[in-house]
């Protein structure tokens, strides 16, 4: 039965690639069925092929009817991914959150140095009214105008909105209506998040003039926290890479190099001091990779933590929204503001976030992905230094290994969902307008994904279920584990929905950053962030900034 459905699904896709008129004039033949069997690794008898023909024609008629129904990118499938292992219950009791102690913060002699202060520091300066939100907003707007073209990291300045929000913040703070550490803080958002009244281009030529009459939930939540949106930042076209319709976003540490992607502008602008923090998204490395390249700190939250309403869909079962900042605790502050349900994104699961900045490493089970450290020869010195630093901090490191499941074999789950999200673009031929047309770019991936049988997609998700249970067993043995940022772990934890913090872990001889990643338990960003914060404070790599963009080149 399985092989029968797989074959007809593939053949139907092959047939639907033709114009509709051609389908009617050229009914599916047994010879056509036989021609595609090798793509499935299957073989049918002549009688089986003949029996399929009527079913396939019926399917094609169904496809034609479905295609008459408008399905914009914002419409999700009725199937909702559930990352929870059997028996798992997310924590519900919310306790008061305490941020780490903050010493005296003063305005620097060179006002422009504020561009590289942390959110915590900027928030304190605004709260104590040593600076105003309007002053800070104008500083960042000036830097965006000055350096944005050089980095190719800005799609739209939201200047009018930013100045309005900054003035409102100053009035509220002066009246004693302080909303918290994000009140008055300027930030940028990846331009796949809709903002009413502004273009939302998805970084792609076919959508460069698109205006969505909606504001994404994440943007609304940040506005409620008092944050100030100063820019919509670049992303690789349709969330792939760092090349968008207007250019290639640059790495602030090396302008000859791209910033990586797809949260290209979010990482570059944060690293270069053009925003205090930014919002990115990750499906398979889109926060981790540009954060590594640009030396920023990024949080990929647990799947189901942050609403994706108003965000471009690429993969409904893998997309996640998270902050890109200069410090781990800044990520915690932003995450606390954007987490939680909105009643619209049905994948969101309510859970508490009980962050406390101080944890005792000796009381935690901190693992390290042993084979990944052994395999990553390029960054071996940096990786070993990270393990030694963790031991110095009191960690009794426990070697762990990922489940023995061929994770890359599951990667077509993303391709199938992305092809569905942009089905109309493929069928209309609009994909030819995308800048990149190489074999591994989206246009070709979308086309090839039409040949993934529905049965194989479901089978892959059944293996994914087994992967989730296996990861639950692994995480029973540790509270957090540390790993090189790239390798099988990156795809695996994006498939299982586990949270990740990526942070700078040193600099190469050429002066460019490298990173390390910490992986936490599902819905336990609190412990994950606390561990990563202590490591970051002990190493201090986050305090170094790109000389080309720092005042006086420091």
**C-alpha to C-alpha distance for 392 and 136, rounded to whole angstroms:** 39
118, 133, 190, 307: the active-site residue: 190
**C-alpha to C-alpha distance for 477 and 367, rounded to whole angstroms:** 8
Q: Pairing between strand 247-248 and 366-369?
A: unpaired
CA 135 distance to own-chain centroid: 31
| 420 neighbors 63 (Cβ within 8 angstroms) | no
Give bridge partners of residue 399 from the DSSP assignment: 368
Q: Let me know if 262 is a catalytic residue.
A: yes
Q: Let me know if 544 is a catalytic residue.
A: no
**C-alpha to C-alpha distance for 232 and 215, rounded to whole angstroms:** 13
**C-alpha to C-alpha distance for 55 and 53, rounded to whole angstroms:** 5
| 204 neighbors 244 (Cβ within 8 angstroms) | yes
Q: How far is CA 115 from CA 139, 145, 293, 512, 551, in A?
A: 7, 14, 20, 20, 9
CA 32 distance to own-chain centroid: 41
286, 317, 515, 517: the active-site residue: 286
CA dihedral (315, 84, 369, 321) in degrees, to 10, reads: 40
Would you give the DSSP letter of residue 130? Answer: S
Q: Give 379's contacts (C-beta < 8 A, 6+ positions apart).
A: 484, 505, 514
Number of alpha carbons in the 13 Å side-chain half-sphere of residue 518: 32
Tokens representing 12? 């139907």
Residue 42 CB neighbours (<10 A): 15
Tokens representing 134? 């309007």
- Cα-only R_g, the chain: 24
118, 262, 266, 485: the active-site residue: 262
* DSSP codes of every residue in 250-271: EETTEEEEE--SSSHHHHHHHH
**C-alpha to C-alpha distance for 298 and 264, rounded to whole angstroms:** 12
Q: How far is CA 364 from CA 248, 294, 395, 516, 521, in A?
A: 42, 30, 7, 19, 13
* DSSP codes of every residue in 370-394: HHHHHH--TTHHHHHHHHHHHHHTT
- Report, as residue numbers or ranges, the catalytic residues: 190, 262, 286
């Amino acid at each position: 039965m399985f092989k029968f459905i797989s074959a007809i699904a593939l053949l139907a896709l092959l047939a639907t690639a033709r114009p509709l008129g051609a389908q009617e004039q050229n009914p599916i033949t047994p010879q056509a069925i036989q021609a595609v069997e090798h793509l499935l690794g299957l073989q049918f008898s002549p009688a089986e092929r003949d029996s399929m023909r009527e079913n396939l024609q019926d399917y094609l008629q169904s496809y034609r009817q479905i295609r008459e129904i408008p399905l914009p990118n914002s419409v999700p499938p009725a199937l909702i991914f559930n990352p929870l292992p059997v028996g798992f219950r997310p924590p519900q009791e919310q306790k008061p959150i305490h941020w780490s102690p903050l010493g005296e913060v003063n305005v620097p002699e060179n006002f422009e140095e504020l561009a590289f202060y942390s959110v915590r520091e900027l928030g304190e300066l605004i709260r104590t009214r040593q600076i105003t939100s309007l002053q800070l907003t104008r500083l960042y707007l000036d830097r965006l105008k000055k350096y944005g073209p050089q980095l190719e990291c800005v799609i739209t300045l939201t200047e009018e909105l930013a100045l309005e929000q900054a003035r409102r913040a100053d009035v509220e703070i002066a009246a004693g209506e302080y909303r918290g550490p994000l009140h008055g803080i300027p930030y940028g958002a990846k331009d796949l998040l809709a903002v009413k009244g502004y273009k939302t281009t998805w970084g792609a030529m076919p959508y460069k003039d698109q205006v969505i009459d909606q504001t994404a939930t994440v943007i609304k939540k940040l506005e409620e926290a008092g944050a100030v949106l100063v820019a919509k930042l670049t992303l690789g076209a349709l969330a792939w890479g760092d090349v968008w319709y207007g250019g290639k976003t640059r790495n602030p540490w090396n302008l000859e190099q791209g910033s990586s992607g797809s949260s290209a502008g979010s990482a570059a602008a944060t690293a270069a001091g053009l925003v205090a923090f930014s919002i990115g998204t990750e499906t398979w490395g889109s926060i981790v990779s540009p954060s590594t390249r640009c030396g920023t700190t990024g949080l990929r939250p647990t799947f189901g933590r942050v609403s994706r309403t108003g965000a471009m869909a690429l993969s409904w079962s893998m997309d996640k929204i998270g902050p890109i900042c200069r410090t781990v605790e800044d990520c915690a502050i932003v995450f606390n503001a954007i987490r939680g349900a909105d009643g619209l994104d049905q994948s969101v699961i309510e859970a508490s976030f009980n962050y406390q900045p101080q944890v005792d490493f000796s009381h935690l089970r901190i693992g390290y992905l042993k084979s990944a450290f052994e395999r990553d020869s390029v960054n071996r010195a940096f990786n070993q230094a990270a393990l030694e630093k963790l031991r110095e901090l009191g960690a009794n490191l426990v070697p762990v290994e990922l489940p023995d499941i061929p994770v890359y074999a599951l990667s077509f789950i993303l391709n199938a969902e992305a092809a569905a999200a942009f089905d109309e673009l493929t069928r209309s031929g609009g994909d030819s307008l995308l800048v990149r047309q190489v074999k591994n770019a989206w246009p070709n991936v979308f086309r090839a994904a039409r040949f993934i049988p529905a049965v194989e997609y479901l089978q892959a998700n059944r293996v994914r279920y087994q992967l989730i249970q296996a990861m639950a067993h692994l995480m029973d043995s540790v509270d957090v584990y540390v790993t090189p940022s790239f390798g099988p772990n990156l795809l695996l934890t994006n498939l299982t929905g586990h949270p990740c913090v990526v942070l700078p872990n040193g600099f190469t001889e050429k002066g460019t950053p490298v990173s390390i990643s910490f992986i936490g338990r599902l819905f336990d960003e609190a412990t994950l962030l606390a561990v990563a914060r202590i490591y970051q404070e002990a190493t201090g790599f986050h305090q170094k900034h790109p000389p080309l963009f720092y005042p006086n080149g420091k």
